[in-house]
Structure 1
């Protein structure tokens, strides 16, 4: 593994921009919990991220880890270690460049569904 550009930051394996596949992104976002994670990340300012522990999820830590791994391996999020914490950020630029309008449409649909179901 190549040394990190910034001290104290260690990256996990992610697909390169050109390796991100639509079917992997759609699969990753097909799970309600993963979609909720992405909605929370999309609400942040560009360049901001959240640690895994900042998400309130109704599943075990190992299941949460699985959900984050699916999102990362699909190219939906980027995870980097800062110290012992994993910081999660949305790969909006990559997704928007590869699949223009997809992320915005999915997030808008998820927002409408949450309102319709009384969840947000």
Structure 2
């Protein structure tokens, strides 16, 4: 493996360690839900720098950490970029339909409120 393809993995909960209350807590914050909606709309992992959140870098890092530690997203370094992707397969296996329901509700709310 070359240095360009080498990845540095971050700590993630195993599928069996993911808890419903942790997932619901992670999804309860509007900025974290916004991140999840963007990831759900992408067909590939996104770099943390892709997200234009109206908070400081340290607060953005906190939100991504909550999502990762709850098992909602998986993150890995690709070179200098920290890439994020949804753990949709894991969440669907543990809580069938939960993520889809939350995303549909969030999309309906955004449309109702005129938000992106």
> TM range, normalised to the smaller chain?
over 0.9
Q: Distance in 2 between matches of 1:34 and 1:75?
A: 13
Aligned pair partner of 2:103 in 103, 107, 111: 107
Pair 1:87-2:94 in alignment:
no
Ranges in structure 2 where 5+ consecutive residues have no aligned partner: none
Pair 1:8-2:6 in alignment:
yes
State the match for 2:17 in structure 1. Answer: 19
Deviation at residue 16 of structure 1 after TM alignment: 0.2
Q: Distance in 2 between matches of 1:110 and 1:118?
A: 12
Deviation at residue 7 of structure 1 after TM alignment: 4.1
Alignment length, in residue pairs?
113
SS of aligned partner of 1:100? coil
Deviation at residue 44 of structure 1 after TM alignment: 1.3
Q: Distance in 2 between matches of 1:42 and 1:99?
A: 16
Ranges in structure 1 where 5+ consecutive residues have no aligned partner: 1-5
State the match for 2:70 in structure 1. Answer: 74
1:17-57 CA-to-partner distances (Å, cap 9, x unmatched) read 00000000000000000000000000112xx1111000010
SS of aligned partner of 2:31? helix
Q: Supply the RMSD in Å over aligned alpha carbons.
A: 1.1
Runs of 4 or more consecutive aligned structure 1 residues displaced over 3 Å after TM superposition: none
State the match for 1:65 in structure 2. Answer: 61
